[in-house]
Amino acid sequence: MISVVGLAKSFGERTLWSDVNFTVNKGEMLALVGPSGSGKSTLLNCMGVLERASSGEIIVDGTNVTKLRAPAQRRFRRDTLGYLFQNYALIENATVNFNLQVAVGGRRGRTLNRHAIEAALDRVGLGNRGKEMVYRLSGGEQQRVALARLIVKKSTLALADEPTGALDSANAGMVIEVLREQAESGCTVIIATHSKEVEQSCDSALALG
C-alpha cells in the first residue's frame, strides 16, 4: 500500500506539481495520466526514491520513504520495489538469465531461482531465450525481459513507466495481464501511461498537469 500526502516537486522556479494526494491499496492498480512533461516519470521516480520530492510524504507499507537514509533507500529498492523503466535498465552486455538472476539476489537459492526465471520468461513469451545476450534482443523483447525481472522479483510496489510503449497490441495486452497478476498476488501497481487502454485496465486514474 502506498499513500502520497501533499507531495510537491519544483525544478528551480518551475513547479511541476503541488499537493498531490492519493492512496493505492495492495492489490490495486493506479494509472498516472497527463500530457507529456506533466511530471508522471518524476512522480514515479519520487515513489521509487530515485528522486527527492520538494515537500510532502510518501508512505509505503507504513514507512515514510522520503525520510530514509541511503542504506535504507537501497534496501527499499532491493526488497520492496519493482520498476519497469522507459529504457528497461537492463545490463545489455549480459545474458537474459544473468539479468534476472541479479534481480533475485545473485547466487543465493540458485535452483529455485532457475525455475522461477524459466517460468517468468515463458510468461512473457521469451521461453528458451535465457542464454541470449540482451543487446541482441529487439526493443520490445528487452521490454519483456524487464517485465520478467519484475515477475521474479516479487515486489510489493511495482512502478511502471509507459510499459507498453514499444510493444504491439498483443504484447501490450500481455504486459497489462502480468501487471494485473502482480496486483492479484498482493502488489500495489502504479503505471504512467498515455494509453487509454492501459488506463481503462487500471482500477483508478490520477491526472497530472
**Binding residues vs ligand ATP (CB under 6 A):** 11, 16, 34, 36-42, 192
Quick one: 36 or 93, whose CB is closer to ligand ATP?
36
What span, in angstroms and rounded, lies between the C-alpha atoms of 22 and 83?
19
* Smallest distance from ligand ATP to CB 37, Å: 4
Q: With respect to ligand ATP, which residue has the nearer C-beta, 10 or 185?
A: 10
**Dmax (CA) of the chain:** 53
Tell me whether residue 16 or residue 167 sits nearer to ligand ATP (CB atom): 16
Question: Closest approach of Cβ 54 to ligand ATP, in Å?
Answer: 12
34 vs 130, beta carbon nearer ligand ATP:
34
* 3-class DSSP state of 7: strand
139 Cβ partners below 8 Å, 6+ apart? 166
Q: How far is the CB of 199 from ligand ATP (least distance, A)?
A: 13
The least CB distance from residue 192 to ligand ATP, in Å, is 6
If we measure between CA atoms, which residue out of 193, 102, 112 comes closest to residue 149? 102
Q: State how far the Cα of 2 lies from the Cα of 141, in Å rounded to an integer.
A: 30
